[in-house]
Chain A
């Protein structure tokens, strides 16, 4: 399931929670882990100047600088590397999202692990222009699932056993479902299928009566049974639930109640946003709020 994991990191504190999960997973599932750091953003036309992602300094790139950064990454993860000596450390130059995607295309990992936003460099003109967020851009087009940890993953203890799959019945959600099922089967997880009925329109003045809401819940449940349940009859521990509310709040609450150690969801972005890829807002909110890792699946997992 997770033979090869690509952990894309800024090698700063922002990625420390993600690092914990990445190293734990590699240990638990005997995965080959590659720690991948993009050291700089090329700038100044065709010159050799790059902006170092970690320090924000403009540096002249040469082999010495590259090996110095590699050493820095090793030092940042020195403790984890003690117990995982097989881990590869790699450093690249370029725009982070592009280089992560390039690496993923070359090495075909089963999973990309990423942390939250570094949140720095807001002042940098370069970042504002080209990088909405590395995570968003990677999640949009990666051919493999992307696991994101932005908060301390309190309920993650080194492996997955309790997975929540959130759906909005889209085609992308079907891809996410396929992945969730594969994962549940191979790792013997409990699988909780969940849909949140979006009643946020009520705030905009549309007041649905309770009967209508309950009708919709019943319809959604029916759809879930038809669409998903028949395909996972063999799994021993399946639950299915539809709640009404604000979707991202309900998903996070549901995952907390189920003590989930993983949420799997589909990614939504329209093509019009090519230049500034955004995650679907529900996904984005779940990522920053969930107490467990979140896996974003965009494309069908072959």
Chain B
């Protein structure tokens, strides 16, 4: 049963293994080894028998092959209506086949399934809305990814990503010390402008526990500063945690179920330790899905909820604006044509469409907001969801996938796209880089900071 030194069925367990994999530039050796990787059919079938429960078995069985899902899939539309991009076909020809053949599939089949699972589906779950039987191919692809991961058939970057969570409990090599230190650094940078700005660490029984995306810590700590400043201006009793602060989960994209569980349990432990009234996560879609929507089930929580009630940043912001905790200077509202990207993970899959519209009503001058078409829960994926953005092997397919969002944005005539999700933000930046349509894009926090009224007692002395 040949397994490679880098490409194999064992997940990353140590920092040394992680570095070794990282140093294999572009996964050159990794992908060579992938060609020789054996499929452990017995294990695959055993896993399916244990984990493929009635819902997925029923879905596979009752699909009538009606093709209603075809037009719901942006990847089908954007790839010249290629029949192999029809969601039902994609899942039946991969997961369906594996189940049918009781796991007796070979390396070539698994590589085909890998490409289908990571380059032909972003797990946006749009097809599930349009299927007359309610079959959700996105959910099934998430499951298929788990089977593939366990057999070692996973894109190089995602094996690294899942490994990061296993080693650092974060999607990047950011330690707990780095996190706290960086947040404090941001307070230092802005304390002159916002006297009294402080970053409470491990405050117990606070109203809000704020969790983030490790990339903010590593590359864009301004985002942390902006979050801290807005909580400060809103007068919130908030805190960060010195451990368990990472809300995202590349392990979810990778299908590394064990690491998914490790990651959310780490965050839940912080909630149990600090007992915040609520947890607020940053502007990230999949982080919300991982920690708030799916995480409780990974962690085996009977009530299906995290230990503390948990909301997305847009929910907190909408509430802060509604209650007047944050007030907007009407003169400074956005006065350019602007649209908003509905993130699949918390709009379609968690029903927060009204929160973002409420925010828009506060921050955009009436008449300047243009909806994309379709929008809200019917909106298309940004083109880079589900891990698609970061996989070098499928760059070409990803760039093609961006065309849908490009055309949607162009049709609005917007100059600014608000993207309160890291993945969407990345995809929209990349589509501007790739297709140069002359747009700007932004998270909500920096926009808010430009227009929020600083209460007199929080202004610096002049």
Interface residues of A (CB under 8 A from B): 42-49, 60, 62-64, 94-95, 98, 101, 105, 123-126, 128-130, 141, 143, 170-171, 270-275, 299
Whether the Cβ atoms of A44 and B389 lie closer than 8 Å is yes
Whether the Cβ atoms of B423 and A45 lie closer than 8 Å is yes
Determine how close the nearest CB of chain A comes to the CB of B308; give it in whole angstroms: 27
Whether the Cβ atoms of B441 and A129 lie closer than 8 Å is yes
Whether the Cβ atoms of B389 and A48 lie closer than 8 Å is no
Residue in A closest to B398 when the chains form the complex, CB atoms: A44
Whether the Cβ atoms of B250 and A46 lie closer than 8 Å is yes
Contact of B185 with A by CB under 8 A: yes
Whether the Cβ atoms of B392 and A274 lie closer than 8 Å is no
Whether the Cβ atoms of A125 and B25 lie closer than 8 Å is no
Bound-state CA distance A98–B217 (Å) is: 11
Residue in B closest to A42 when the chains form the complex, CB atoms: B219
Q: A45-B384, A48-B157, A98-B220 are in contact. Are A63 and B193 (CB under 8 A)?
A: no
Whether the Cβ atoms of B450 and A141 lie closer than 8 Å is no
Q: Which residues of A contact B462 (CB under 8 A)?
A: 170-171
Whether the Cβ atoms of A46 and B390 lie closer than 8 Å is yes
Whether the Cβ atoms of B190 and A95 lie closer than 8 Å is no
Q: Which residues of B contact A48 (CB under 8 A)?
A: 22, 25-26, 157, 392
Q: Which residues of A contact B384 (CB under 8 A)?
A: 45
Bound-state CA distance A42–B173 (Å) is: 14
Contact with A125, one of B194, B432, B461 (Cβ below 8 angstroms): B432
Bound-state CA distance A20–B221 (Å) is: 32
Contact of B433 with A by CB under 8 A: yes
Q: Which residues of A contact B250 (CB under 8 A)?
A: 46
Contact with B390, one of A47, A95, A101, A128 (Cβ below 8 angstroms): A47
Whether the Cβ atoms of B193 and A271 lie closer than 8 Å is yes
Whether the Cβ atoms of B219 and A95 lie closer than 8 Å is yes
8 residue pairs, one from A and one from B, having the closest CB atoms: A275-B446, A45-B389, A271-B193, A45-B390, A125-B433, A125-B432, A47-B390, A141-B189
Determine how close the nearest CB of chain B comes to the CB of A268; give it in whole angstroms: 11
Q: A45-B389, A47-B390, A125-B432 are in contact. Are A274 and B222 (CB under 8 A)?
A: yes
Q: Which residues of B contact A45 (CB under 8 A)?
A: 384, 389-390, 423, 426
Bound-state CA distance A300–B78 (Å) is: 56
Determine how close the nearest CB of chain B comes to the CB of A68; give it in whole angstroms: 12
Whether the Cβ atoms of A274 and B449 lie closer than 8 Å is yes
Bound-state CA distance A209–B80 (Å) is: 73
Whether the Cβ atoms of B392 and A47 lie closer than 8 Å is yes
Bound-state CA distance A123–B389 (Å) is: 21
Contact of B192 with A by CB under 8 A: yes
Contact with A272, one of B215, B219, B450 (Cβ below 8 angstroms): B450
Determine how close the nearest CB of chain B comes to the CB of A98; give it in whole angstroms: 7
Whether the Cβ atoms of A46 and B157 lie closer than 8 Å is yes
Interface string of B258-282 (1 = CB under 8 A from A): 0000000000000000000000000
Q: A60-B25, A62-B25, A94-B219 are in contact. Are A47 and B192 (CB under 8 A)?
A: no
Bound-state CA distance A62–B23 (Å) is: 6
Bound-state CA distance A125–B426 (Å) is: 11
Bound-state CA distance A171–B221 (Å) is: 27
Interface centre among A46, A270, A299 (most CB of B within 10 A): A46
Q: Which residues of B contact A272 (CB under 8 A)?
A: 449-451
Determine how close the nearest CB of chain A comes to the CB of B328; give it in whole angstroms: 12
Bound-state CA distance A274–B188 (Å) is: 14
Residue in B closest to A271 when the chains form the complex, CB atoms: B193
Whether the Cβ atoms of A274 and B226 lie closer than 8 Å is yes
Q: Which residues of B contact A270 (CB under 8 A)?
A: 193
Interface residues of B (CB under 8 A from A): 22-23, 25-26, 157, 161, 171-172, 185, 188-190, 192-194, 215, 218-222, 225-226, 229, 250, 384, 389-392, 423, 426, 429-430, 432-433, 436, 440-442, 446, 449-451, 454, 461-462
Bound-state CA distance A299–B190 (Å) is: 11
Whether the Cβ atoms of A105 and B449 lie closer than 8 Å is no
17 A-B residue pairs with CB within 8 Å: A44-B392, A44-B426, A45-B389, A45-B390, A46-B215, A46-B250, A48-B25, A48-B26, A62-B22, A105-B185, A129-B440, A129-B441, A130-B220, A171-B462, A274-B449, A275-B446, A275-B449
Q: A44-B390, A95-B219 are in contact. Are A271 and B454 (CB under 8 A)?
A: yes
Bound-state CA distance A124–B432 (Å) is: 9
Whether the Cβ atoms of B157 and A129 lie closer than 8 Å is no
Q: Which residues of B contact A274 (CB under 8 A)?
A: 190, 222, 225-226, 229, 446, 449-450
Q: Which residues of A contact B389 (CB under 8 A)?
A: 44-47
Residue in A closest to B189 when the chains form the complex, CB atoms: A141
Determine how close the nearest CB of chain A comes to the CB of B359; give it in whole angstroms: 17
Contact with A171, one of B161, B391, B461 (Cβ below 8 angstroms): B461
Whether the Cβ atoms of A299 and B192 lie closer than 8 Å is yes
Bound-state CA distance A275–B225 (Å) is: 10
Contact with A47, one of B391, B449, B451 (Cβ below 8 angstroms): B391
Residue in A closest to B24 when the chains form the complex, CB atoms: A62
Residue in A closest to B250 when the chains form the complex, CB atoms: A46
Whether the Cβ atoms of B215 and A275 lie closer than 8 Å is no
Determine how close the nearest CB of chain B comes to the CB of A125; give it in whole angstroms: 4
Residue in A closest to B171 when the chains form the complex, CB atoms: A46
Whether the Cβ atoms of A95 and B392 lie closer than 8 Å is no
Residue in B closest to A171 when the chains form the complex, CB atoms: B462
Q: Which residues of B contact A43 (CB under 8 A)?
A: 430
Whether the Cβ atoms of B436 and A125 lie closer than 8 Å is yes
Contact with B429, one of A46, A60, A123, A129 (Cβ below 8 angstroms): A129
Contact with B219, one of A47, A98, A271, A275 (Cβ below 8 angstroms): A98
Whether the Cβ atoms of B433 and A124 lie closer than 8 Å is yes
Bound-state CA distance A46–B462 (Å) is: 42
Determine how close the nearest CB of chain B comes to the CB of A300; give it in whole angstroms: 9
Residue in A closest to B172 when the chains form the complex, CB atoms: A46
Residue in B closest to A275 when the chains form the complex, CB atoms: B446
